Amino acid sequence: MKKAIPALCLVLLTFVLPSPIIPSSDAPTIPFSPYSSAPLGGVLFPRLGAPAFATSGSAVYVYVAGTFSGPWTGLMISPFDTYSPLVISSDAHDNITVVELSIPAEAKRGLYNLSLVDMSTMFPVVFEEPNCLYVVGPSFPVSIEVAVISDSHFGVGTYYDFTTKILRQTIDTLNALGPDVLVIPGDLVDGTTDSAAFEAVRAELMRLRIPAIIAQGNNDVVPLEKGLHFWEQYIAPDHFETSFGDYTFFVIQSDTGDVSADQLRWLDSSLASVTAHKVVVLHHPYWEETSSSMKVELPTILKTRGVDLVLMGHTHSDDVRTDPVLSIVTESISDSPAGYRLVRLSSSGVAYSLRSTPYDQLSVVHLQRNDFTSTGGSVLVKNDGPTDVDLRLLFRLRNPSGSSPSALGGELSRAVTYRQGQAYVEVTCRCTASSSRLVSVYFEEDSSPPTVQVSGAFDGPTFVASVVPSDVGLGVLKADVFYSSDNSTWSPLNRSVLNRVEAYRLEDAPAHVYLKVVVEDAAGLSTTSYSVFTREGSAPAAEKGGFDLTLLVGLVLAISLAALFATFFLRRRR
């Protein structure tokens, strides 16, 4: 459903986009900062990390890079719904074209990908942005629930496998809970000048079913040191504002602990023009920094302009201050403890807790890849919290025969299958306090047992093993790992996390480490794997599964000698 921009369109955009992209003085007031580099899909606003919010039947403005005259066509696409918004008008001002769209009155609540096509030339130009438009339904709610996650420090490579796992699990949990909006106050990626990290985290965020408002952290701005504008290309503008009914969010970029004078002027002016409830999002807690902009000027603006709430990250630990305004710092999801916040905004104030919720207090874990490659999948829900929760689970499956799905552990809510057999299935369920629930959806029965790949190495006195189970059916439910030094007596080997790397570790390991891995899938099928690892320079070990290689060789030799002796004896008797 999320299509790439045709190469021809990218070429056209290259010729029509001067840098930086700045509106002329005649352009209407825009809610975002000037761009230094063209976004990946050509849409300047709304964006994946700077969404627009609208009611069914209302109008929304879309800003695209370049000067185009139309006529225009458009599409709004969510997993279960597709609409063609009516283009009311378009207005080009030098480097920016503003297109006014009318959201269909029948449009259902949900987060949509947006696609616009300019048909004015022989070669239509396509503008696309995922997860950038959120339709709330017929009217905006009087109060909204805001989820906050911070400092994911996402990266590419095995070092980041564990932090990626936590980010995915948190996204799946928040998708199931369904807050109104997600705020990420910076350090989305770990410091890098490689665009691969930004491209990969964009793909992770495209799995969200709730809109995300994202600020830059000091790690996110590292590419700017080399003149690289990956944030603008993949995520959002440098700074911007967006309104969710009576609540307006202002996102600023605090670099390495300093806010530019231009941003402060923009923030002060923008706050002064808004009468709604005001939320400011940035990365650094302003009281922690020494720059005048953070220590003096920003707090003055926050208090003078009556800001209701400031959301921040950076320190990887929770903090709440009420002077000069309510300011909340959320711990990271890349270090321990890892957690997220749920904050409720209403006309009567802000409801919040002093501590973040542990990311695994309510865990929603997809046991399958959930990427249209399997005909079935399962979710393991564990609720260690004090209250019951109602959840909506989204499965991305393959439906090769066009059949209807079956569900176990939950109620089918809706399902749709698109071309090439890609199917979305939504299941609702309730998970009571202090309980767990397995929810499975499938188009075909799971008859294949799981498989497992096991590798290991000695690191000084420590043995480190990697165990990667997989299943083509409903997914891996559990993998139990056992070790032995004599291939006879087995003890459990548990996973541990060291420096953000998750692995099975055995301290003071013997010269020979035998591993037994028992894997069970969600259909109740299982498989057992045996492996043996020998420290370099040690004598050969007994083979996996309880067979001693030395004894086996001796047995083969004995049988061979016996056969030769028997042959010789029979010939003598003749």
Q: Is residue 242 part of a domain?
A: yes
Give 177's pLDDT tier (boundaries 50, 70, 90): very high
For residues 168 and 518, give the distance between their C-alpha atoms in angstroms, rounded to a whole number: 25
The per-residue pLDDT for range 397-426, each reduced to its tens digit, is 999 999 999 999 999 999 999 988 999 999
155 lies in the same domain as 61: no
Which one of 135, 163, 186 terminates a domain?
A: 135
Residue-level pLDDT at 16: 40
The per-residue pLDDT for range 99-111, each reduced to its tens digit, is 999 999 999 999 9
This prediction's pTM: 0.89
The per-residue pLDDT for range 76-96, each reduced to its tens digit, is 999 999 999 999 999 998 789
Q: Is residue 500 part of a domain?
A: yes
Give 559's pLDDT tier (boundaries 50, 70, 90): low
Q: Is residue 2 part of a domain?
A: no
Count of domains observed in the chain: 5
298 lies in the same domain as 159: yes
352 lies in the same domain as 367: no
The per-residue pLDDT for range 358-372, each reduced to its tens digit, is 999 999 999 999 999
76 lies in the same domain as 153: no
Q: Is the pLDDT of residue 566 over 60?
A: no
Give 501's pLDDT tier (boundaries 50, 70, 90): confident
Q: What is the CATH number of the domain that holds 203?
A: 3.60.21.10
- Rg over alpha carbons for the chain, rounded to the nearest Å, is 29
Q: Is residue 1 part of a domain?
A: no
Q: What is the CATH number of the domain that holds 414?
A: 2.60.40
Determine contact, residues 238/49, Cβ cutoff 8 Å.
Answer: no
Q: Is residue 72 part of a domain?
A: yes
Residue-level pLDDT at 10: 41
- Number of helices (H), then strands (E), in the chain: 8, 36
Q: What is the CATH number of the domain that holds 20?
A: 2.60.40.10
Q: Is residue 24 part of a domain?
A: yes
Q: Is residue 150 part of a domain?
A: yes
302 lies in the same domain as 235: yes
14 lies in the same domain as 86: yes
Nearest residue to 23 via CA among 14, 31, 15, 11: 31
Q: Which domain holds residue 60?
A: 7-135
For residues 461 and 470, give the distance between their C-alpha atoms in angstroms, rounded to a whole number: 30
Rounded to 10°, the helix 161-177/195-205 angle is: 30
Which one of 358, 388, 418 terminates a domain?
A: 358
Residue-level pLDDT at 497: 87
Which one of 101, 135, 169 terminates a domain?
A: 135
Could you tell me what percent of the chain has a pLDDT over 70?
A: 89
Residue-level pLDDT at 560: 59
* Mean pLDDT of all residues belonging to the chain: 91
202 lies in the same domain as 305: yes
